[in-house]
Amino acid sequence: MKKRRFGKTDHMSTVAILGAAAFSKVDQTKTDKAMELAMVHGVNHIDIAPSYGKAEDRLAPWMESHRNDFFLGCKTMERTKKGAKKEMLKSLKKLGTDHFDLYQIHAITSLQELNQATMAGGAIEALLEAKKEGLTRFIGITGHGAIVPQLLIEALQRVDVDSVLFPLNFIQYSFPEYRENSEELLSQCRTRDIGTMVIKSITKGPWGTKPQTFTTWYEPFSQQDEIQQAVSFVLSQDITGLCTASDTELIPLILQACEKHSSLSKDEQVEMIKSAAIFEPLFNLNNNH
């Protein structure tokens, strides 16, 4: 598995970052199988959050025996200092570790949320305090939705973070505004030496009225060749790595695609973006969903 430097953390993260949201609704056996496979592939970076159902409980036994094998990132949906600190301590206890490598403000979707998290008494104060106390080595911020690139650009003007996480895929990039703002965000991250993680890399579109055959909240590409194309597109951007999807059945396919990834040329990327015209994007910029 290829590795890339995770910004100023200096950690060499595998391009596949294990998204522990996949463990939210599965039993320990399925979690163990996925973790064993991830280790076989050399994955060394995990992303988890208390909002991911049973994920912290499922991962805890692995942290007991393999904590030093992973760069461990966790997140909080709390927007106040008090709430964020309380949730962080709870996650540390559940996972049986005395510190996180990365702790992030999770899923900012609006300017109002960003304001709440970064104001006096906001969650950011808990993260900065935790960093000083050694409860986390680094801090970050994540976002979700159609305007997230702009929101994270604004966040960088307010807070000295070590990482960002946001959605990126070739279908979403068919919207010029989303692509241009994402490229500007990535450019600013490069200038500031900030690690960059991507979610929703294999998104095909919203489920709509279709039966949900995977535990992802969006419909994913599920064939190996489709996943390979989607993954190669994302890893051809100036990012550190992508988080695997929130379904254990998709993890082996994504890990294989990450291992076989080779960068696409600019022309190949343009052709993929053009091909996205037949798909419905997950986030519609017209209604900010």
Supply the DSSP symbol for 245: P
Is position 214 within any domain?
Answer: yes
Tell me how far apart the alpha carbons of residues 248 and 236 are, in angstroms, rounded to a whole number: 24
**Amino acid in position 168:** L
Task: Provide block-wise average pLDDT over 10 residues at a time, the chain (289 residues).
Answer: 98 98 98 98 98 97 98 98 98 98 98 98 98 98 97 98 98 97 98 98 97 97 98 98 98 98 97 97 71
Is position 284 within any domain?
Answer: no
pLDDT of residue 286: 63
Q: Are 127 and 84 in contact (CB under 8 A)?
A: yes
Is position 155 within any domain?
Answer: yes
Give how many domains the chain has, as a whole number: 1
Tell me how far apart the alpha carbons of residues 104 and 261 are, in angstroms, rounded to a whole number: 28
pLDDT of residue 289: 43
Q: Which CATH number does the domain housing residue 169 bear?
A: 3.20.20.100
pTM for the model:
0.97
- How is residue 284 written in tokens? 């519609």
Q: What is the dihedral of CA 259, 72, 237, 265, to 10 degrees?
A: -10
Q: Regarding beta strands 195-199 and 163-167, do their DSSP bridges make them parallel or antiparallel, or are they unpaired?
A: parallel
Supply the DSSP symbol for 265: P
Residue-range definition of the domain harbouring residue 211: 3-278
Is position 140 within any domain?
Answer: yes
Tell me how far apart the alpha carbons of residues 263 and 164 are, in angstroms, rounded to a whole number: 22
Tell me how far apart the alpha carbons of residues 213 and 204 are, in angstroms, rounded to a whole number: 13
Which among 84, 27, 6 is positioned nearest to 51, based on CA atoms? 84
Q: Regarding beta strands 3-5 and 203-205, do their DSSP bridges make them parallel or antiparallel, or are they unpaired?
A: unpaired
pLDDT of residue 279: 96
Beta bridge partners of residue 12, listed in sequence order: 5
Is position 287 within any domain?
Answer: no
Is position 283 within any domain?
Answer: no
Q: Which residue has the tokens 């992973």?
A: 70
Is position 194 within any domain?
Answer: yes
Q: Regarding beta strands 71-76 and 45-47, do their DSSP bridges make them parallel or antiparallel, or are they unpaired?
A: parallel
Is position 228 within any domain?
Answer: yes
Element (H, E) at 153: helix 148-158
